A and B are shown apart, each in its own frame.
Chain A
Amino acid sequence: MAETHSLQDIRQQATVAAKVFIQRDYTSGTMCQFQTKFPTELETRIDKQQFEETVRTLNNLYAEAEKLGGHSYLEGCLACLTAYTIFLCMETHYEKVLKKIAKYIQEQNDKIYAPRGLLLTDPIERGLRVIEITIFEDRSTGSGR
């Protein structure tokens, strides 16, 4: 919690130097996947491996959310039989995975990205179009402008 607090301080006090957008990768169809290409703006800030690992994990999580399998068929049939009223009390599989993703991004921000002056925005807040990475100005507190 203390780390989140400092994250908000960074947001308030630091100015945004740039924003990088990781676009969607449509080569496997309409499934939600993001491009793992390392953007040049982040070269000075973060390790390429680290970044790719983050994006790959996100891609795997989204693939899990949209996976067609026994579990999703069962949920679909059950929902149909109950005239979809079952979703009033139960979360869909997709929503459960989205929560997992939100937690993962929060964790990545706290551990890896915030200390480097970067901030990942959850793609769901951008309509699953992009992963927005905000690059904050590299400046230590206390120095005047």
Chain B
Amino acid sequence: MHLGVSESMREREYSQISTRSSTPMESPHQKRVLRKKWQAFPGQNKFYCDGRIMMARQTGVFYLTLVLILVTSGLFFAFDCPFLASALSPAIPAVGGVLFVFVMGTLLRTSFSDPGVLPRATPDEAADLERQIDVANGSSSGGFRPPPRTKEVLINGQTVKLKYCFTCKIFRPPRASHCSLCDNCVERFDHHCPWVGNCVGRRNYRFFYMFILSLSFLTIFIFAFVITHVILRSQSSGFLTALKDSPASVLEVVVCFFSVWSIVGLSGFHTYLISSNQTTNEDIKGSWSSKRGKDNYNPYSYGNIFTNCCAALCSPLPPSLIDRRGFIQPDTPQPAPPTNGITMYGATQSQSHMAAATPLLQSEPVMMSDEPSLPGRTSLGAACASLPLGQPTPPTSTPSLSCDADLLPLQGNHVEGQHHFLTPEEAPSPPGMLHCGSPMGQGHPHGHAPGHGVPFYSPASQDSLHEDSVRGLVKLSSV
């Protein structure tokens, strides 16, 4: 190759070549300011304070929660406490103050922290997994359906199915689930709570529980003492005069009365979940219920209530797996966005742009122009459209795989199937979604309030719809 060239020359040439080839994008990007990782985060989250705060996209209801708590507590401290402090004891505002601070602290902590988001696979990892899956399936070409991408694991004697997440390109760890609103896989996914404006998962479940527990106490505290205040006043000046003297009390009583039922009920429900070491997701799907089979039991439970509680509340807090505030290295390959099924080595930042975050949603109109209403078909169309358009698989083959009735979870929560592929704007707003009458009708024993209908989103069931619908298509990546 380099005939007649001295060895040192050759070396120098070689090293020049290698430098160029290893960082091909260096020159055009050298002048670019290094971005932080949160700016290129592929999920649907919103970040504030330079990546320190992480919330879901829809935060309207969170502000409502804040307003309700602040206004009610504010009115209590301003109008009822002076009377109560002088008539009864100054300890009342003090205790109220402590409770209030605790409620706010835990609420903000739940809302602002990373629930345990699993970062998406790097292109190399995704390619490696694809290869392993193909080897396991025996590479079959389009025509007959390859089996769905699941892996079975034996955990403490119980068989658990691990599902492959098409968006994140990983096999989800046990108890993890993909939140369709935030478009992330979350570890130990409990539910997506619009009231706190975030998912509740492994890292913020204890804060969430502390929040609802302390809020229950605060609500009961305020309710009780406002009633006491009105009674004491009416003893001296009559009931109506008492109400006229402190009009704020009426508002407080009304708010507290309606909140008590839902919040206390929710606290009770979560206390049950903690003591049996289950997530809301698992409880709703009845994953460990004995109705599924005689030998069905929860493999994660430690056996006794005390250990389960300690494990949920006092276990070591794992750190965030997504490095939000780190800088993006120019030569690091970013996780390939789902629309671009071709896993490229050294994908540039522009490819991992957040526009790729909603591939399924944005490409919906492409495939399913004539079948907008049926849930199964919708998911099929959207799922197909998410794959690289260069794929030779004919679109007509997919509807034939459609709507296997067993795609939809048996517990009749087909409500979730409907909004699986709605944009995040649409998903929380229809009131029908929040109420979720049908799953409730199953006589859930824990008095789950209608207002808190969010747990029934069950993103995991939606993903099973998704993955079954993609069965007709052979490979995601052409690598």
Contacts and interface: CB of A to CB of B under 8 A. Distances in A.
Given A26-B162, A27-B155, A30-B300, A144 B14 contact: yes
Interface string A116-145: 000000001011111010000000011011
Given A66-B315, A68-B311, A75-B316, A19 B14 contact: no
A84 B105 contact: yes
B122 A126 contact: yes
B166 interface: no
Contacts of A23: 171
A126 B105 contact: no
Which has the most chain A C-beta neighbours within 10 Å: B15, B22, B175, B207? B22
B316 A67 contact: yes
Contacts of B50: none
A45 B299 CA distance: 39
B124 interface: yes
A144 B11 CA distance: 7
Nearest to B21: A15
B115 to A, nearest CB: 14
| A interface majority secondary structure | mixed
Contacts of A24: 173
A88 interface: no
B372 to A, nearest CB: 36
Interface in B121-149: 121-122, 124-125, 128-129
A25 B419 CA distance: 34
Interface in B105-128: 105-106, 109, 118-119, 121-122, 124-125, 128
B2 A144 contact: yes
Contact of B18 (A12, A27, A92): A12
Interface string B305-324: 00100110111111101100
Contacts of B19: 12
B439 interface: no
B124 A19 contact: yes
B101 interface: yes
Given A30-B174, A30-B175, A95 B319 contact: yes
Contact of B102 (A19, A83, A144): A83
A66 to B, nearest CB: 6
B102 A76 contact: no
A127 B316 contact: no
Contacts of B207: 84
B63 to A, nearest CB: 22
A27 B153 contact: yes
A55 to B, nearest CB: 17
A68 B317 CA distance: 11
Interface residues of B, number: 53
A145 B14 contact: yes
Contacts of A26: 153, 155, 160, 162, 173-174
A111 interface: no
Given A15-B18, A84-B109, A76 B156 contact: no
A128 B105 CA distance: 29
B174 A19 contact: no
Interface string A35-71: 0000000000000000000000000000001111000
A142 to B, nearest CB: 6
A127 B322 contact: yes
A27 B15 CA distance: 46
A132 B125 contact: yes
A27 B158 CA distance: 10
A77 B314 contact: yes
A144 B15 CA distance: 10
Nearest to B151: A26
Given A12-B22, A68-B311, A129 B319 contact: no
B439 to A, nearest CB: 26
Contacts of A79: 317
B300 A21 contact: no
B410 interface: no
A80 B316 CA distance: 12
A30 B173 contact: yes
Contacts of A28: 155-156
Given A30-B188, A92-B316, A144-B2, A129 B210 contact: no
8 contacts: A73-B314, A75-B314, A76-B310, A76-B316, A79-B317, A94-B319, A95-B319, A144-B10
Given A12-B19, A66-B315, A144-B14, 18 more contacts: A12-B18, A13-B15, A21-B128, A24-B173, A29-B155, A30-B175, A30-B188, A65-B316, A68-B307, A76-B313, A76-B314, A77-B314, A79-B317, A92-B316, A92-B317, A128-B321, A129-B119, A132-B125
Q: Which 7 A-B pairs have the closest CB atoms?
A: A76-B314, A127-B119, A127-B321, A83-B105, A94-B316, A73-B314, A26-B153
Interface of B: 1-2, 7, 10-11, 14-15, 18-19, 22, 101-102, 105-106, 109, 118-119, 121-122, 124-125, 128-129, 153-156, 160, 162, 170-171, 173-175, 187-188, 206-207, 210, 299-300, 307, 310-311, 313-319, 321-322
